[in-house]
Amino acid sequence: MYSAVAASPPRRDFISVTLSPEEAVGVGGYNNSKAWRRRSCWRKWKQLSRLQRSIILFLFAFLAVCGVISFTSMGEPWKSLTNKSLDEQRTEPEIPGLKLVNPAVLPAPQKADANAGDYPELSPQKQPKLPHIRRSPSNLQIKPPRRDVRLKTRHATSKIVEELVQADKEEKTEKSVISWRGAVIEPDQSTEPPSSKIKESEKPSSLEAEGQKEPVPINERQMAVIEAFRHAWKGYKDFAWGHDELKPLSKSYSEWFGLGLTLIDALDTMWILGLKEEFEEARIWVANDLIFDKNVDVNLFESTIRILGGLLSTYHLSGDSLFLEKAKDIGNRLMPAFKTPSKIPYSDVNIGRGTAHPPRWTSDSTVAEVTSIQLEFRELSRLTGDEKFKKAVDEVMKHVHTLSGKNDGLVPMFINTNSGQFTHLGVYTLGARADSYYEYLLKQWIQGGKKENELLEDYMRAIEGVKKHLLQRSQPKKLTFVGELAHGHFSAKMDHLVCFLPGTLALGAHNGLTADHMKLAEALIETCYQMYEQVETGLSPEIVHFNLHAQKGHKDVEIKPADRHNLLRPETVESLFYMYRFTGDKKYQDWGWEILQNFNKYTRVPTGGYTSINNVQNPSNPEPRDKMESFFLGETLKCRWDTSGR
C-alpha cells in the first residue's frame, strides 16, 4: 500500500507558459498600437463563419444604398430653400404693381494688365457700348402744313397703335394688365433672346453655350464689315491720322476740336472686330498724343458722346486703365458747363481755360444735348467713385421732369440756361434737337437698375404722347411713321434721326415694358427700311415727307432738294441690330446687308475712306461731300457687324 502511493508522480500546482522572444513585452508584444489592433480585428473577422461574414457585408451594402437614396431625396428641397434665400436677398425695389425682368446693372469691369499687347480672343457677340446717335442736327424745317393734311382728331393716331396690337392682344393669355400713371405695363413681359424663335433643332444645348470658350467663327458678312472698316481706317490713317475727320476725296482732314475724334470714336469698334494691330497703333496715339490741356472750345454734347463715351466703352472692353484716366481728365474739364444759374449746362466749354458759355447767337441749349450726356457722366462716377459727375447730370433730369410746357410727355426743342425754362413752345418732334432725350430716358432707367421711377414715368408718358399726336400712316403702303407737331398742326415730316425709335422701343419691351411697344417697333423699322428701299441709291436721305393721300405714280416717300443728303448715319442699322437680337428674324440682317452694299456702291472712296453724299436720288452722280463722319466708324459699322452675326 505504501509503495503504491510512493510510486505515483508528484502533483503540480502551476501552469507553465513559454513565450517566444519577439512576443515578450517591450520587444514587440501588445502595446495598443494601430497595427496590433488591425491584426486583432482581422483575426476576429477570420474566426467568424462564412454565413456571419455574408450577413455583415449585406447589411453594410444595404445601409450604403439607403444613404444614397436619402441624400438624393433631400437635395432638391435643400437646393430650393437655398435659391429662395438668395432670391430674397437679391430682391430690388420695384415700381408698385410692376414686375420687371432683367434687372441687372453693368458690373464694374475687372482690372486688366495695362499691357496693350495682351488681348483676349474676341467674340463677335461682344456687347458694344450703348450707341450715341444724335450728331450734327439737321436744319429746323417746321412749317404750317396745308389744311387738308392737318391731324383731324386725336383718335386717328391712337387707332394706328390699336390696329398694330389687335392681333397680338387676341393671342394673349389672361394676364392682368397694370395701369400705372397713364401708361400700360404688363407684369411679366417675356424677354426671350433671338434664338428662342429659331427651330429647336438649330439651338445649341445649354451646356454647350456655357462651356463655349472659343469665339464664334466669323461669317462672310462680318468679314465684309471688317473689310469696310479697314478701308475706312486706311483713309483716316493715311490722310488724317490724329485729326478729327477724314476728307477722303481731297486726301486731307478737317478739325472740329483737334482731339482725334474719329480715332477715339473707333477704338471700341476695333476691339470688337478683333483688329489688334490697328487698336495698338491707336492706343499708342492716345497714350502719347491725346492732350486735353488746350485752349479750345468744344461742344459739351458732342465731346461727351464721342470722346468721353468712346474712352469709357474702350475701358470696359479692354480693362486698360489708360482709357479710364483719359476719360476722367476730359470729364473734369467738361464740368464748368454746369456752372449756370439754372444748372442747365451751357453748350460750349473751353477745356483748357475751364470756362463755358452758350452759343454766340442765343442763351438757349437744345433739349437733346443737355439730356443726352447722362449715361456717360453717371458711368464715370460709378467707375471713379466721384459723385460730382452723376450729381450734375441727375439735377438736369430732375429739373426737366418738373417743367411745364410738355404735351403729353413730349418736350419742346430748346431750354434756356438762365431761366431753366423751355422756349419755343408748341413745337414737338422726335427728330433733331429733341430725339435722344427720349432714348436716354429709357437707357438711364435700365442703367440705374430700373429703380428711378421718374425716368420710366417720363418715358412711358412720352411714348403715349407719340401715339396720340405724332403717328400717322402713309399712302399707298400704309407705312406707320412719326411726324411733327407745330402749334397744333401736324407735319408728315420725319428725320432719319427718328429711326432710333424702333430700337429703343424694342429695348424697352425686352426689359419688361408693354408688348405693344414691340409691335410699334416692328411697324416703324419697316418704315425706316422703306426710307432706303424707295430711294434710287438705296440710301436714306436726311429727311423725308410721307404722302398722306394716295396719288397715282407717287411713292409713300417724297424728298425735298434740301433734304436729300446722306451723312452715313447709324440710326437705322442700330435699330436693325436691336430688332434682330430681340426677335431672331433674319430679315433684319438682310436689310442691314443691303444698306452696307449700297454704302459700298455709292459712298466708298477708292483710295480709302467713305464719304457722305449730297444726292441720294442720283445713282449716276450722288455728289460726294468729301467728309467721313466719325460716327461711321464708331457706330454705323459697329451695328452692322453685330447685325451680321448669328
Give domain status of residue 267, yes or no: yes
- For residue 436, the number of C-alpha atoms closer than 13 Å in the C-beta half-sphere is 23
Give domain status of residue 127, yes or no: no
Q: For the chain, how many structural domains are there in total?
A: 1
Burial of 166 (0-12, 13-18, 19+ CB in 10 A): exposed
Q: Give the whole-angstrom CA distance, residue 191 versus residue 206.
A: 17
Annotation marks residue 369 as catalytic: no
How many of the other CB atoms lie within 10 Å of CB of 405?
14
Q: Give the whole-angstrom CA distance, residue 253 versus residue 542.
A: 23
Give domain status of residue 56, yes or no: no
DSSP per residue, 428-486: E-SSTTTHHHHHHHHHHHHHTTS--HHHHHHHHHHHHHIIIIIEEE-TTT--EEE-EEE
Cis amide bond preceding 476, omega within 30: yes
Instruction: Supply the pLDDT for residue 106.
Output: 40
Give domain status of residue 374, yes or no: yes
Query: Of 265, 542, 574, 629, which residue is the catalytic one?
Result: 542
Residue 317: which domain range? Answer: 261-471
List residues bridging with 624 in a β-sheet. Answer: 613
DSSP per residue, 224-272: HHHHHHHHHHHHHHHH-TTSSEEETTTTEEE-SSSS-HHHHHHHHHHHH
Annotation marks residue 244 as catalytic: no
Task: Mention every residue, 6+ apart, whose C-beta is less than 8 A from residue 114.
Answer: 320, 321, 322
Annotation marks residue 387 as catalytic: no
Instruction: Supply the pLDDT for residue 581.
Output: 96
Q: Which of 488, 383, 337, 482 is nearest to 425 (CA)?
A: 488
Query: Of 186, 516, 571, 635, which residue is the catalytic one?
Result: 571
CATH number of domain containing 283? 1.50.10.10
Query: Of 278, 435, 458, 556, which residue is the catalytic one?
Result: 435
Q: Give the whole-angstrom CA distance, residue 560 versus residue 542.
A: 10
Q: Which of 362, 301, 374, 350 is nearest to 137 (CA)?
A: 301
Give domain status of residue 646, yes or no: no
Burial of 279 (0-12, 13-18, 19+ CB in 10 A): buried
Query: Of 302, 574, 635, 642, which residue is the catalytic one?
Result: 302
Q: Give the whole-angstrom CA distance, residue 583 versus residue 192.
A: 8
Give domain status of residue 70, yes or no: no
Instruction: Supply the pLDDT for residue 431.
Output: 97
Average pLDDT per block of 10 residues along the chain, 646 residues long: 44 49 44 55 73 82 79 55 45 41 42 38 38 42 44 53 57 40 38 38 38 66 97 98 98 97 98 97 98 97 98 98 98 98 97 95 94 98 98 98 97 97 97 97 98 98 98 97 97 98 98 97 98 98 96 93 98 98 97 98 98 98 98 94 68
Instruction: Supply the pLDDT for residue 202.
Output: 40
Q: Which of 629, 645, 627, 636 is nearest to 249 (CA)?
A: 627
3-state secondary structure string, 604-629? ECCCCCECCECCCCCCCCCCECCCEC
Instruction: Supply the pLDDT for residue 163.
Output: 65
Instruction: Supply the pLDDT for residue 628.
Output: 98
In the block, which residue shows the cell 398694330? 164
In the block, which residue shows the cell 456687347? 127
Q: Which of 442, 261, 441 is nearest to 367 (CA)?
A: 441
Task: Mention every residue, 6+ apart, whose C-beta is less than 8 A from residue 51.
Answer: none
Instruction: Supply the pLDDT for residue 69.
Output: 77
Give domain status of residue 431, yes or no: yes
Helix (H) or strand (E) holding 191: none
How many of the other CB atoms lie within 10 Å of CB of 87?
9
Annotation marks residue 571 as catalytic: yes
Give domain status of residue 428, yes or no: yes
In the block, which residue shows the cell 475687372? 110
